[in-house]
Structure 1
Amino acid sequence: MMVRVAVCLLAVLAIFGSPALAQEQSKADVFAGYSLFRYNPATSGVKSWNMNGGSGSFAYNAKNWLGLVGDFGGYHNGNILSSGVSSNEYTYLFGPRISYRHYEKLTPFGQILFGGAHVTASFAGTSTSDSAFAWGLGGGVDAKINTRFSVRLGQFDYLMTRFNEGAGGSSQNNLRFSTGVIIHF
């Protein structure tokens, strides 16, 4: 008799306990923050430059460890390499994120994202723009404040863009660092 009661209790816990545990993880996360974008041109002899801006992302957490991410960023430099050229770059990337949620306060993650980039540049009243394929590989660490908010301590990404630079090549190997706030839903 005691064994039957124990088995019934375990069955009830298995049926109703699992959804309760699954609800502890938010179904969606929204990130907004500052980004430092290090643009590295493919043209030999041209130095890299920094662009400041912001990033935002939306993640749907399909599983405790798997999220589907949309990542968007905008970056600006008003005087590239003291040349008087002003430039903006925008990225829009999508893909999977793997998170390790076994620590109480910290969540490390890694992601691979694919999408595009758009760049505008202006000098002395003339401007140009271009769009290209882009992809990124990176990761970071989030620190939990409470059930509703976290802080992204740091996210580092390698971002490759494919803007045609003429004879110089067409692959820019860029870096991005981001930090900011996450809201859990």
Structure 2
Amino acid sequence: MHQSLLLELYSGYGLARFNSGGTSTNLNGGMGSFGYNFKPWLQIGGDASYNVVAINGVRNVLYGNHFGARYFYHRFSRFTPFAEGLVGGSRVDTSGGGVQTSTNCISYKVGGGVDYRASRRWEIRLFNVDYYRTSFGTGTGYPGQSNYWASAGVVLRLFGSGASE
């Protein structure tokens, strides 16, 4: 039996696999998210991420802020799979050789993951993997970037009556 708590806070490691101009780059960083549980199976929330990589003296920083819904499937005793769809914005800052540029775009993430319940209030997010679509530099003949996002970390569940679903 799953107990319903109102608020979830997540923090963890994040890996962005960013595809640009035919090359792919891994950016390491972190992320945090919050979620409000309208129902035991439906959460509305948002996330913020920061990922960075430096190659040949050029530093790239990718920021993301997304909001949307998560659907949880509570049919297993300790493991909870979920699916999510989030929309928001992303920004990339590039600096090197005394030059700095910044670009913003609309982006979205679609995917899911699995949480492991360690206790009533603590969960371990074993993995969260998303298709991460960005539109940096889009224009005629340049449709945007198909990226991937992965994270793992801890979830703190707060407040609520603890009533079952």
Instruction: Tell me whether the two structures share a fold, i.e. TM-score over 0.5.
Output: yes
Give me the whole-angstrom Cα distance separating, in 1, the residues matched to 2:5 and 2:75. Answer: 14
Partner of 1:49: 25
Partner of 1:26: 5
Partner of 2:163: none
Give me the whole-angstrom Cα distance separating, in 1, the residues matched to 2:124 and 2:137. Answer: 37
Partner of 2:162: none
Pairing partner for 1:148 from 121, 144, 151: 121
Give me the whole-angstrom Cα distance separating, in 2, the residues matched to 1:73 and 1:168. Answer: 29
Runs of 4+ with deviation above 6 angstroms? none
Give me the whole-angstrom Cα distance separating, in 2, the residues matched to 1:36 and 1:168. Answer: 28
Greater relative contact order (Cα 8 A, min sep 6): structure 1 or 2? Answer: 2
RMSD: 1.6
How far 1:138 sits from its partner (Å)? 0.6
Listed one character per residue, the Cα deviations across residues 65-94 of structure 1 (whole Å, up to 9, x for unaligned) are: 100010111100011xxx421100100000
Pairing partner for 1:164 from 107, 118, 137: 137
| Change over 3 Å in CA distance of 1:135–1:169 after alignment to 2 | same
Query: Structure 1 residue 65 and structure 2 residue 38: aligned?
Result: no
Listed one character per residue, the Cα deviations across residues 122-178 of structure 1 (whole Å, up to 9, x for unaligned) are: 110110001100001010000000011000000100000011166772411000110
Q: What amino acid does structure 2 have at the position aligned with 1:99?
A: F
Q: Secondary structure at the match of 1:146?
A: coil
Pairing partner for 1:128 from 91, 101, 105: 101
Q: What is the total number of aligned residue pairs between the two structures? A: 158
Q: What amino acid does structure 1 have at the position aligned with 2:149?
A: R
Give me the TM-score of the superposition, normalised by structure 1. 0.81
Pairing partner for 1:78 from 51, 54, 65: 54
Pairing partner for 1:38 from 5, 14, 17: 17
Q: Which runs of 5+ in 2 are unaligned?
A: 159-165
Give me the TM-score of the superposition, normalised by structure 2. 0.91
Q: How does 1:87-98 map to 2 (within 5 A)?
A: 87-98=60-71
Give me the whole-angstrom Cα distance separating, in 1, the residues matched to 2:11 and 2:58. Answer: 28
Q: What amino acid does structure 2 have at the position aligned with 1:62?
A: F
Give me the whole-angstrom Cα distance separating, in 2, the residues matched to 1:65 and 1:123. Answer: 46
Q: Which runs of 5+ in 1 are unaligned?
A: 1-20
Give me the whole-angstrom Cα distance separating, in 1, the residues matched to 2:113 and 2:31. Answer: 14
Q: Which has the higher helix share?
A: 1
